[in-house]
Amino acid sequence: MPLRIYSTNMMKKLAFCLTLILCFYLNLSIAQNERPQEPKIPFNYNVEDVVFFNSKADSIKLAGTLTLPKAIKKPPVAILISGSGPQNRDAYLKPFNHKPFLVLADYLTKQGIAVLRYDDRGVGESQGKFKDATSFDFALDVEAAIHFLKTRNDIDTSKIGLIGHSEGGLIAPIVTSKNKDVAFVVMLAGPGVDGGKILETQSRKMMELRGVQKMMIDENEKLTTIIYDVIKRYKNTDTIKSKIAKGLNNFKAQNPMSIVSPSITPILIEQQFKILESKWLLEFIKIDPKEYLEKTTCSILVLNGSKDVQVLPEVNLPEIQKALATSGNTDVTIKELENLNHLFQTAETGNLDEYKTIEETFAPSALKLIADWINERF
């Protein structure tokens, strides 16, 4: 999970920081010891390396792995959708040395559910450019995966489902809102509010865990709200820059005694414009998942860990529930899982620092819940 800080000295000056902690990657190197849950050869199911193509994105090749139960002739199948940041088919979290999609695929396949997982575009053996892609582009990759699976004669093509983690839990409803070939969705720590709200709430939670004073957190949130509101309202880059600068300068003028005001300088304001370099981030801030959840009528399981400090359950689950009620969906299961973090590990605090210290990759109770829910229906 990257910690993108657009002003590196803000916290030192008790000013605001813009953090994007939703994502899953950091380019750090650590010892790559196997975790206890990682499956080992020989597997008691069939494993096939596959490729498919996205005809809506210059026919880029996407490469992945399809695992198939041996004992079931035409099993249901789940497509795994990764969270933010470039990830391979195992959703390998390099700084934390975990492969949650490898563990999830192994477990589900052993429970009679086929699984397709693939390298993100521009990652591993997949073609395309990751940097320029938005959540909507990744949704097109998922649609390509669905189209590929429908050509297979060794799965039940009427039982194709999506399992999305974090941003993947946003991408899944984007797909299902217009694609009726999806039989089920599992949202793992997926958002129920727009990206700006996700970033604001996780920033607040992370600062609370660091022991930052409430007054500082509140003032930080006022400034990030100014920036995100501008991004949500305007499209033109120059307009966004001028509106952000005006908003921050107005805040400083109107709140000279604020703890963050001394740090609002031309240099700091210029640093905030780095947010405009990410097409993905600009789009993510604007996307409201409720728009797509309200159009999702297939069976859906929504899971969030009680110690998730990145996609907060108390913020997101109620909004997801409201949106699905609006959809008229009659098969909705929403659960907050006790003591699980954003990665669905059993955790003490949920803080990012714990991820790499926890040997467990994916809580067995969560794995069982997912498999049982799918098998009860399909």
Q: State the CATH number of the domain containing residue 292.
A: 3.40.50.1820
The reply to whether 257 falls in a domain is yes
Take residue 37 and report the two structure tokens written for it: 């849950």
Contact 99, 80 (CB under 8 A): no
Of 220, 249, 277, the last residue of a domain is: 277
Within a domain: 330: yes
pLDDT of 187 above 80: yes
Confidence of residue 15 (pLDDT cuts 50, 70, 90): very low
Decide: helix, strand or coil at residue 228. Answer: helix
- Is there a domain that residue 282 lies in? no
Same domain, 217 and 251: yes
Q: What are phi and psi of 304, to 5 degrees?
A: -145, 140
User: Considering 235, 252, 277, which residue would you say is the last residue of a domain?
Assistant: 277
In the chain the beta strands, taken as DSSP E runs, fall at 45-54, 60-69, 77-81, 114-118, 160-165, 184-188, 299-305, 332-337
* pLDDT band at 20; cut points 50, 70, 90: very low
The structural domain count of the chain equals 2
Domain boundary among 239, 258, 277: 277
Same domain assignment for residues 170 and 308 = yes
Within a domain: residue 10?
Answer: no
Residue 188 in this model has a pLDDT that exceeds 80: yes
Clarify whether residues 220 and 170 are in a common domain.
no
Say how far apart CA 362 and CA 378 lie, in whole Å.
Answer: 23
> Within this chain, do residues 246 and 184 fall inside the same structural domain, yes or no?
no
pLDDT, tens only, 242-261 = 999 999 999 999 999 999 99
- Residues 288 and 191 sit within 8 Å (Cβ to Cβ): no
Q: Answer yes or no: do 78 and 227 share one domain.
A: no
Asked if 107 and 132 count as a contact pair (C-beta separation under 8 A), the reply is no
Answer yes or no: do 294 and 153 share one domain.
yes
- The reported pTM is 0.91
Q: Has residue 67 been placed in a domain?
A: yes
Contact 202, 193 (CB under 8 A): no
Tens-place pLDDT, residues 197-256: 999 999 999 999 999 999 999 999 999 999 999 999 999 999 999 999 999 999 999 999
Say if residue 304's pLDDT is above 70. yes
Q: Which of 291, 377, 341 is nearest to 93 (CA)?
A: 341
Residues 53 and 165 reside in one and the same domain: yes
pLDDT category, 32, cuts 50, 70, 90? low
| Same domain, residue pair 262 and 353 | no
Same domain, 207 and 175: no
Residues 205 and 185 in one domain: no
Strand 60-69 and strand 114-118: the pairing is antiparallel
Same domain assignment for residues 160 and 68:
yes
Q: Is the dihedral of CA 117, 123, 128, 131 positive or negative?
A: positive
In a domain, 39, yes or no: no
Spatial contact of 140 and 57, defined as CB atoms under 8 Å apart: yes
Q: How far apart are the first and last CA of the chain?
A: 33
- What residues make up the domain containing 253? 199-277
Q: Does 37 fall in a domain?
A: no
Q: Verify that 216 and 317 share a domain, yes or no.
A: no
Asked whether residue 221 is domain-assigned, the answer is yes
For residue 132, name the pLDDT band (cuts at 50, 70, 90). confident
- For residues 296 and 329, the answer to whether their CB atoms sit within 8 Å is yes
Look at the chain and count its residues.
378
Q: Give the model confidence (pLDDT) of 57-102 as tens digits.
A: 999 999 999 999 998 999 999 999 999 999 999 999 888 999 999 9
